[in-house]
Amino acid sequence: MIKVHGITVFLQALGAGLLVGAAALVVALLWPIADPPWLAHSGPVALVDVTIIDVEHGESLAGQTVVLRDGHIERVGPASAEALPAGVRILDARGQFLIPGLWDMHTHSIKRSPQFHHALYIANGVTSVRDMSGCLSEDDSYWACPHDRRRWTNEAVQGQRVSPRYPLQSSYQTNGGNEVPEGLPAFFRLESLEHAEELAAFYRGQGVDFIKTYSELAPQQFAWIARSAREQGLGIAGHRPVKVSLETALAMGQRSFEHGRLFLFECFGGAQAFRSAPDPLAAYNATLRLRLLTERDEAACAQHMRNMAEAGAWWVPTLTTLRMAVTAAQPAAHQDPRLADIPWLRRKLLWGPDARRAAAEPLANDGRSIHAHLFDLASRDVGEAHAAGVRILTGTDTSDTLVFPGSSLHGELQMFVDAGLTPAQALRAATIAAAEFAGAQTTHGTIAPGKVADLVLLEANPLADIANTRRIAGVFIAGHHHDARSLQALRQFARAQASSVRANLRLLWDMLASPLMRRQLAD
């Protein structure tokens, strides 16, 4: 009896422990996660004796006073002639340089972006992002939906939240139907023109600005989407589907093309045969990647670039993502201190396997990886496309493998300069050109009276060295001033969230509860 009683007591204790553990897990999952600390200064402010960077003309204008009030730039003029209005906080900016807020034109935001992304965007001077994700229903547990991004934007402008602006809204990726979980409306699978019309109407109702195209759309599906989006007043932007030529995509009105492989494929001498294969993506192996290097049609490539420039389309190369395949095999990539800013769940579950696959790529005859050669060629494409008149924008593909929110945009700027752009041209791609793409050039992208007060204060001149965009002394979004103390607090918050067990558990729960993510993880 004593033995049985002991077992009973043990089982009761075990059951109580499991109940306590389950209750603790429920509390951890349901208890609200903290938002970034708000330490910004609000109210009118005058930046005195600052050097303004004119991103339109690539010039600097020293000795200026810039007055900010009610979220906008009120006045700009020589410091010696500007009489400062009463009640304005004075910020001595001698020796500092003022640029418009930076734009990241290719990101992927999630419900937990306030914890894992937003603080790092602002700390790195990224005040606007174009998100390239969305939702296939009214809401999703993992992905940020248009209504989330609009709310974050409005709260940031009001000084109620640390967040960049989200000026444009995207659909979820349209990929031919394989991205669609069971149980969702049939029209998402795009099996007819009528489906495409329903899909475009659905996204129009969500308030998106464009439908994101993806790699596995069939040519007929792409044509349906292009037509239906146009009828609903929506744009199309994203990947060029592998079975669709650049010429066709331009003719059908694709407005922006994403990622650095665009011309690697389009300039390939065997491009037509590749597109005609039953499953082109299955054929994309190391052998084909080597052929992209050795079977390049330079004359056709130059013509493709001229055609894209004449069509007025935009290219977002996201060289950062191509660079990942090169750096993944390098020890330094796995010692990067910024890894501490990334949730350990993402590093282990998603980044680790992706980096190991990239590091296993065979070497070319010269001992370098094929990925390294492809990156060099894509970098050359950026310089040549820009010279041909193709409109280039900065984007990073946050939060893809080894892409760090905010800071990777500075790396992208550096890669643009390494590709042949001047620092001024690279800055233009991250400021006024991005605003122009968004149709917001009258209110964003330069430093002038009446424009929104999204600004970055630097310690050194970025026109002399693009690396100086990293030397951030302060960030303004809608006139709210994040000084050095606030920026440090934001960086500390993001790092603490990345290592938080509770925040990572919430991230895991969000993933598993999302039909869209379960579909992606299964693939």
Q: What is the pLDDT of residues 134-159, one digit of tens each?
A: 999 889 999 999 999 999 999 999 99
Q: Which residues contact 444 (CB under 8 A, 6 or more apart)?
A: 100, 101, 128, 167, 432, 435, 438, 451, 452, 454
CATH 2.30.40.10 spans which residues of the chain?
Answer: 36-101+445-482
Could you tell me if 269 and 293 are in contact, meaning their C-beta atoms sit under 8 angstroms apart? Answer: no
Could you tell me if 459 and 471 are in contact, meaning their C-beta atoms sit under 8 angstroms apart? Answer: yes
Which pLDDT does position 33 carry in this prediction?
A: 85
Which pLDDT does position 29 carry in this prediction?
A: 58
Third-level CATH fold of 102-442? TIM Barrel (3.20.20)
**Beta bridge partner(s), residue 52:** 61, 98
* Cα–Cα distance for residue pair 381/263, rounded to 1 Å: 7
For 248-288, what is each residue's pLDDT tens digit? Answer: 999 999 999 999 999 999 999 999 999 999 999 999 999 99
Which pLDDT does position 21 carry in this prediction?
A: 45
Percent of the chain with pLDDT over 70: 94
Which pLDDT does position 24 carry in this prediction?
A: 47
Third-level CATH fold of 36-101+445-482? Urease, subunit C; domain 1 (2.30.40)
Q: Span 214-218, mean pLDDT?
A: 97
Q: Span 223-237, mean pLDDT?
A: 98
Q: Which helix H or strand E contains 354, and what residues bound it?
A: helix 352-359
Which pLDDT does position 80 carry in this prediction?
A: 79
Which pLDDT does position 26 carry in this prediction?
A: 56
Which pLDDT does position 376 carry in this prediction?
A: 97
**Region for 87 from its dihedrals, namely left if φ exceeds 0, alpha if ψ lies in -120 to 50, beta otherwise:** left
Which pLDDT does position 83 carry in this prediction?
A: 79
Which pLDDT does position 367 carry in this prediction?
A: 82
CATH 3.20.20.140 spans which residues of the chain?
Answer: 102-442
Neighbours of 371 (CB within 10 A): 24
Q: How many residues does the chain have?
A: 523
What integer best gives the mean pLDDT of the chain?
A: 93
Which DSSP category does 187 fall into? Answer: G
* Cα–Cα distance for residue pair 22/67, rounded to 1 Å: 55
pLDDT over 50 (residue 455): yes
User: At 397, which amino acid appears?
Assistant: D
User: At 458, which amino acid appears?
Assistant: L
For 412-449, what is each residue's pLDDT tens digit? Answer: 999 999 999 999 999 999 999 999 999 999 999 999 99
